[in-house]
Amino acid sequence: MIKFNSRTVLLSGALAAFGLSGCALTDTEAKQAMDIVDSPTALNTPQAEWGTPFWERGNRAGSADDGKTAPSFTRRDAPLANVAIALDDGLDATLPRALTAGAAEHGMLVLPKGLVQDALNNTPGCDDLASEACRSALSVYPGARLVVRIDAASGGQASVRVWDTALNKELEERVANDDQGAARLLESLGNQVAAAEWSARPFVGEGDDLYIAAGRVNGLAEGTELEVREPGRAVRSPTGQVVAWRAGQVVGKARVAEWVGATLSRVESVSGTALSPKHRLSLAP
C-alpha cells in the first residue's frame, strides 16, 4: 500500500468533500482543495510542491544530514488511477464517502459523482454498464480505469460489480455498507488497479489537439514525459483468467503540454510516431 504523507491524506479528504457534492470538480474547487492542504494550519505540513508530481517528490530521498524524510511509496509510483462509481439511489452515503476519502492511499482517485453522471448520460450505450462499448468509451473519458456499480443489498450489505477497463475483466463481491466494508473494498480495488501500470488513452478535443483524462489532481505534472505505445494485450493464466497487462511497443515520446482543468491535460508529440487516439500513453522510466 502507498504510504502517503499527511498532506496527501488531507487532499483526499478535501476531494471527498467536493466529490460527494454531486457536481463535477471545477478548477475553482480543485484550487480550493489544494489551498486547504497548502494552508499553514493544515497540520503544520510543509509548503506543497504542486508543480512536481508526487512520485518524483517521493523518490527524492534527502541526504542523511538534511533532517528531512521523503515519503515512501511501497507499491506504485504513478498518478492516481481514475475510478468511476455509479450508485444505487437507495444506498446511503456511508460506503461512497469512505471510498472517496481513502482512495488516494490505494493509488486511486474517485471521480466526482456529477462528472461520472454526465459521462454516462452523454455516452451512447451507457444505460448498461455491462456494455463493452460503454466501458471502452469511459476509459477514454473520463478516463476510468475501473467502473464500479454499487447497489444496496439485504442485511445492510452492498452488491458491487467492478469492470477493469484495462484488463477487460469483471469482478463481483458483497461488502458491508460501512467503514469496514469500505476498507475491504478499497483493498480489493487497489489490488486490481496495481495489476496493470498506469496509462491513458488520448482523444481529440477542440481543433486537432489531443487530451487525456488525467491532470494535476491525479498527480500528473505539466512537462511530464510520456511513452507513446501501441495497444497492449492481456496476460492470461492457463485457465483463461486475465491476470495482468502487457504494455505495447514504445513507438514515440509525448509530453503533458498543459493542464486543462483538474483531471484533464493537453498532450503533444515530442518524437517518433505521431500521437493518435489509437495509442496508449504511459509514464517514461
**Alpha carbons 176 and 153: distance in angstroms, whole number:** 9
pLDDT at 17: 46
pLDDT at 48: 33
pLDDT at 85: 95
CATH of the domain at 272: 2.40.10
Residue 174 contacts residue 157 (beta carbons within 8 Å):
yes
The answer to whether residues 56 and 128 belong to one domain is yes
pLDDT at 282: 93
**Alpha carbons 69 and 264: distance in angstroms, whole number:** 31
The most distant pair of C-alpha atoms in the chain lies apart, rounded to whole Å, by 58
Neighbours of 178 (CB within 10 A): 15
Residue 106 contacts residue 186 (beta carbons within 8 Å):
yes
Residue ending a domain, choose from 126, 161, 193: 193
Q: Which domain holds residue 214?
A: 199-283
Tell me if the bond preceding 79 is cis, omega within 30° of 0: no
Closest CA to 181 of 96, 106, 104: 96
The answer to whether residues 149 and 279 belong to one domain is no
The answer to whether residues 123 and 178 belong to one domain is yes
The answer to whether residues 63 and 178 belong to one domain is yes
**Alpha carbons 171 and 159: distance in angstroms, whole number:** 11
Q: What's the pTM value of the predicted model, to 2 decimals? A: 0.72
- What residues contact residue 117 under an 8 Å CB cut-off, 6+ apart? 22
Alpha helical stretches, state H, 194-249: none
The answer to whether residues 102 and 242 belong to one domain is no
The answer to whether residues 57 and 144 belong to one domain is yes
Render pLDDT for 51-79 as a digit per residue (tens, 0 to 9).
333 333 333 333 333 333 323 222 347 89
Q: Is position 1 within any domain?
A: no
All residue ranges of the chain with pLDDT < 70 are 1-76, 245
pLDDT at 42: 34
Provide the domain count of the chain. Answer: 2
Single-letter amino acid code for the residue at 227: E
The answer to whether residues 90 and 203 belong to one domain is no
pLDDT at 169: 87
Q: Is position 73 within any domain?
A: yes
The answer to whether residues 37 and 132 belong to one domain is yes
Closest CA to 29 of 9, 14, 43, 8: 14
The cell 512536481 sits on which residue?
Answer: 52
Residue ending a domain, choose from 131, 158, 193: 193
Neighbours of 248 (CB within 10 A): 17
Q: Is position 71 within any domain?
A: yes
The answer to whether residues 179 and 234 belong to one domain is no
Residue ending a domain, choose from 132, 160, 193: 193
